[in-house]
Amino acid sequence: MEIVRDIVCQVYAGEKSKNIIDLVLDTFIPDYEKLNTDYTFPPNNKDYVFTTEIEMINYFIENKGLNQTFYWNKSLHNRYKIMVGANITDDDKLVMSLTLDASLETGEEYLNKLKEVLQSNIGVISFVNPVDYENGEDFVLRYQKSTHYH
């Protein structure tokens, strides 16, 4: 079985929500490594440092029109080196991703599982880099009929 590095499974999750982010993290990489509080900052205050990961995520969930992507890792007990991504788009939607090193078949299984968890049928697999899209609406338009690789 050939292992492919950096299989990126992206699925449209709909409205941005910390509960959805937490659900994907807990499903695919429980006990994940928390983000550093200086991972990002509010767009209007580059000197501000968030006090917790929760405060940081909630800032981007609660404020409208912001675009931010977060990635979480887990070093131990992570067979496929799964990294979870959450892309909050400027139209207040959410696209979740899993990046993993596995066979193509396993990548497809993880894409389908992510779709199931998110109760979405809009998703795509790419390699190394996430696919291009401008916001949540654009993701839906480009990939709603696609289960193909990009």
**Residue 145: pLDDT band by 50, 70, 90 thresholds?**
confident
Q: Is residue 122 part of a domain?
A: yes
Q: Is residue 54 part of a domain?
A: yes
For residue 48, pLDDT beyond 60: yes
Structurally, the chain folds into a number of domains equal to 1
**Residue 2: pLDDT band by 50, 70, 90 thresholds?**
confident
Please give the pLDDT value at position 149: 65
Q: Is residue 27 part of a domain?
A: yes
Q: Please report, to the nearest 10 degrees, the dihedral formed by the alpha carbons of residues 82, 118, 24, 39 taken in order.
A: 90
Q: Is residue 149 part of a domain?
A: no
Q: Is residue 28 part of a domain?
A: yes
Please give the pLDDT value at position 133: 94
pTM over 0.75: yes
Please give the pLDDT value at position 111: 97
Q: Is residue 150 part of a domain?
A: no
- Domain of residue 93: give its range: 4-143
Give the tens place of pLDDT for each residue, 99-124. 999 999 999 999 999 999 999 999 99
**Sign of the C-alpha dihedral computed for residues 41, 43, 45 and 51 taken in this order:** negative
**Residue 144: pLDDT band by 50, 70, 90 thresholds?**
confident
Q: Is residue 72 part of a domain?
A: yes
For residue 148, pLDDT beyond 70: no
**Residue 71: pLDDT band by 50, 70, 90 thresholds?**
very high
pLDDT, the chain, mean:
94
Identify the CATH number of the domain in which residue 104 sits. Answer: 3.30.760
Please give the pLDDT value at position 146: 62
Q: Is residue 8 part of a domain?
A: yes
State the Cα–Cα distance between residues 125 and 138, nearest whole angstrom. 16
Contact (Cβ atoms closer than 8 angstroms) between residue 85 and residue 4:
no
Bridging pattern class, strands 93-102 and 83-88: antiparallel
